[in-house]
Structure 1
Amino acid sequence: MTVREINFDGLIGPSHNYAGLSLGNLASSRNAGAISHPRAAALQGIEKMRGNIRLGLAQGLFLPQWRPDGSWLAMLGTDIANADPHIRAAAMSASSMWAANAATVSPATDTADGRTHLTVANLVTMAHRSHEWPQTLMQLRLAFSDTRAFAVHPPIPAPFGDEGAANHMRLSERHDLPGVEVFVYGQSGGPFPARQHIEASKAVARIHELDPARTLFVQQSEAAIAAGAFHNDVVAVANERVLFTHEQAFADKDAFYAALRHALPGVEIVEVPASAVSLSDAIRSYLFNAQLVTLPDGAMALILPSEARTVPAVWNWLEQMIAGNGPIRQLHPVDVRQSMANGGGPACLRLRVVADPKDIDPRFLVDETKLDEIGRIVEAYWPEAIAPDDLADTRLIARIEQSWLTLVDHLRLSGDLLP
């Protein structure tokens, strides 16, 4: 068995738009009403995946969801033509592209039954995301259908908010060895809601049958949430034995660090001090919403948004870091501007799964040839631009639906995913 980390990226869908639906996500609010570019957005995401493959990383793909979500609208007693504008925008949202919110994943080495467990996130805090989970669950059950290797669970029930891997970290000496799982939850106390509830985190840990001695529940700092860190992955990221974090990410960092060092004695904590990089600069640049990955030669690299270069304090600190002898040795900036403008960086776009690729449905794994084919479909079918007022245009809706049908048919998934 060859177990490795596979990053599953969400392909940015043809309905990608800037409706500003996500309270607490400063980029989403700042760009509300702007014209989006779905075709460029999807091609940027494809190029990021292509870059990861060229670095020697395994790459998977989740498909956009069917939009507009007519089933959800019907439950509200309306349809896309008659829905109130904010409901219409929620039904058209392409936010499932942020695969870090698809599920929480515990590898087989961490679970009592020796299977990889995935629990789909309920995303109940935000209306535009709360209706994603049925289609996400459908894709997860297809991609990870081998019940000898995987257990795919439905969402934690409301009202306990669960935002998936964006509030979950795993540390281990190597991906294929038992790890320490860290669930980060929030407590409301500022202008924005805390989206991850401790009750949901504890429920996921129980369902995944994790070892309590290697499972930590850590509170995110109210300062981070108030500054716009709507998920933990905006202020911290982990990979194997390394935790890369902002000084102000956690409510009680000293207790967390002590517990982590006890559970994983070889852990390396790379902390960025607030005196060098403020929370505001960290969130504006999405410094921590990077993919921290282990390359085939064993070196660690940060795949981070190109915006990190534009914030002097951030880029200066990064250059000093890789000039030293710490565990993170390379920086790879990527252009995901369309996603960033809606509040999601490289780490938001991917879900990490540690598994044997042969156990996964190959339709959800990609190489450069497959990405080329998907790219040609995007170039031919995805809308070039969408303004908020376009969301009621029947011609646009027809184009979005045809784009999805063409992609799903090409990937031989139309018999399994048709709405």
Structure 2
Amino acid sequence: MAKHAVEANFDGLVGPTHNYAGLSWGNVASKSNVNAVSNPKEAALQGLAKMKALADRGYMQGVLPPHERPHVPTLRSLGFEGSDEQILQAAAKQSPAILAAVSSASTMWTANAATVSPSADTADRRVHFTPANLSAKFHRSIEHKVTGRALKAIFRDEQYFAHHSALPSVSHFGDEGAANHTRLCSHYGEPGVELFVYGQQAFNQQAPAPVKYPARQTLEASQAVARLHGLAERNLVFAQQNPAAIDAGVFHNDVIAVGNGNCLFYHEQAFLDEARVLADIRERLTGTELEAIKVSGQQVPLEDAVASYLFNSQLLNSPDGMLLVVPGECREIASVSQYLDQLVSSDGPITSVEVMDVKQSMRNGGGPACLRLRVVLNDEERHAINQGVVLTDELYQRLTSWVEAHYRDRLVQDDLADPKLLNEVRQALDELTGILHLGPIYDFQR
């Protein structure tokens, strides 16, 4: 008998060094806002407001901490020497690009933090976590160690949770986490279909691949994660993302498709072989019929889908259907806004749309879905996690006050070399681990 389960959203807190360095080749929004002035305080408060709005609606909402940035241990490993202040100054002088990379607040996009398989799908009936190696981008490839520590600090009980190391950090096993993974099911507590989407086959140079922008996820990485998680073949679908979409700026599958329950909401250019993907899902999905909502290029041109992040939205169960949580930009682009009006008026599974302001994140190329990691938990597992990260009214107030006390409201690239900023970040994070009951997860604490 299936156990009752909920899908919890664990959102990444935007870090104190949130800035616009344009580090992500293939991410159109990131490149278009390079060197703009950022507002870390506003970004963090926007993220918290989204979490609070969903928690108030009754969704289980958790918090994932930002990472220590600038990351001085990485600079030391690259040959910069001396005190922390000397290292920052040397990096700013000799390689400002490296300093920008180790100062990125990209961990806020926790859809990339890990791939998660619920206990209903795994052979040992535990929830499995594999931190993403994010090997395609240097600034993200340094995240997985601390991400793993944070996940272990939250999901501690080995009776219920299994943690794996990140895959080898090479291009053949490039892994971008849940941004290229979704799960379809009749009920959260029952076995579902885990859909892994990849950009290319690393060991097959003759297979289709994008030309302009790199494919960050490989088939081989997706297969490895599925093996680590003990997933049966009957629970798996591997689908290739359309290379033309990647070359149009769709760097992750969650920029062009999102799934929840028995609903897959996607653009017609999402998959290389759409018919086969849908057939495979339908063959494996039990207890329900797949509700496939395809958006045509005539309804929403691909460039509008990318600019608005229509599909980088959260698709959530609600009492009267499904709720689509979209970024504000979806109402600023005519084709997308018109489509959303038609969507909710049609007789389909998505019955309501709610707009969230995450503009600071959007300017770096991340919408509401980028900011959250989905974790399906049954009642026993839910009670076994570290309750200090579960968002309540009290925790929301504490975190809001924490942001107000520690975050700057203006940050430019030159500020990254300021040792005062590093000290501010460490003081803030040291306090945060106490608030969230995480223990010493950061290098400076160990």
TM-score range, shorter chain: over 0.9
> Do the aligned partners of residues 253 and 379 (structure 1) sit closer, same or farther apart at CA in structure 2, a change above 3 Å counting?
same
CA distance in 2, matches of 1:299, 1:359: 29
CA contact (8 A) 2:300 2:336 kept: yes
Give % identity: 47
Of residues 168, 174, 187, the one that matches 2:181 is 168
Q: Can you list the C-alpha shifts for 1:62-116, whole angstroms capped at 9, x where unaligned?
A: 0010111122112111232212101101111110000000100110000111111
CA distance in 1, matches of 2:436, 2:274: 45
> Do the aligned partners of residues 254 and 389 (structure 1) sit closer, same or farther apart at CA in structure 2, a change above 3 Å counting?
same
CA distance in 1, matches of 2:159, 2:437: 24
Give the secondary structure class of the aligned counterpart of 1:217.
strand
Give the secondary structure class of the aligned counterpart of 2:58.
coil
Of residues 209, 213, 217, the one that matches 2:230 is 209
2:431 corresponds to which residue?
A: 406
CA distance in 2, matches of 1:386, 1:404: 18
Cα RMSD (Å): 1.2
Matching of residue 45 in structure 1 with residue 53 in structure 2: no
CA contact (8 A) 1:121 1:156 kept: yes
Of residues 363, 366, 389, the one that matches 2:414 is 389
CA distance in 2, matches of 1:416, 1:279: 40
CA distance in 2, matches of 1:77, 1:363: 38
CA distance in 2, matches of 1:123, 1:413: 24
CA distance in 1, matches of 2:295, 2:147: 34
What displacement does 1:2 show?
4.7
CA contact (8 A) 1:41 1:338 kept: yes
CA contact (8 A) 1:11 1:61 kept: yes
Counterpart amino acid of residue 139 in structure 1: A
CA contact (8 A) 1:405 1:414 kept: no
1:82 corresponds to which residue?
A: 90
1:247 corresponds to which residue?
A: 268
Give the secondary structure class of the aligned counterpart of 1:81.
helix
Of residues 189, 205, 218, the one that matches 1:197 is 218
- The correspondence of residues 281-360 of structure 1 with structure 2, limited to 5 A, is 281-295=304-318, 297=319, 299-355=321-377, 356-360=381-385
CA contact (8 A) 1:14 1:404 kept: no
CA distance in 2, matches of 1:102, 1:111: 20
What displacement does 1:365 show?
1.3
Of residues 240, 263, 267, the one that matches 2:290 is 267
CA contact (8 A) 2:320 2:351 kept: no
Give the secondary structure class of the aligned counterpart of 2:89.
coil
CA contact (8 A) 1:72 1:91 kept: yes
CA distance in 2, matches of 1:222, 1:414: 43
CA contact (8 A) 1:8 1:60 kept: yes
What displacement does 1:416 show?
4.8
Of residues 68, 71, 78, the one that matches 2:70 is 68
2:29 corresponds to which residue?
A: 27
Taking structure 2 as the reference length, the TM-score comes to 0.92
What displacement does 1:149 show?
0.7
CA distance in 1, matches of 2:68, 2:422: 11
Aligned length: 418
Unaligned runs of 5+ in 2: 81-86, 201-208
2:206 corresponds to which residue?
A: none
What displacement does 1:353 show?
0.2
Taking structure 1 as the reference length, the TM-score comes to 0.97
Give the secondary structure class of the aligned counterpart of 1:20.
coil
Q: Can you list the C-alpha shifts for 1:326-367, whole angstroms capped at 9, x where unaligned?
A: 000010100000000010000000000001320211122111
CA distance in 1, matches of 2:422, 2:248: 36
CA distance in 1, matches of 2:220, 2:440: 37
Give the secondary structure class of the aligned counterpart of 1:117.
strand
CA distance in 1, matches of 2:420, 2:151: 31
Matching of residue 233 in structure 1 with residue 241 in structure 2: no
What displacement does 1:395 show?
2.2
What displacement does 1:259 show?
1.1
Matching of residue 156 in structure 1 with residue 163 in structure 2: no
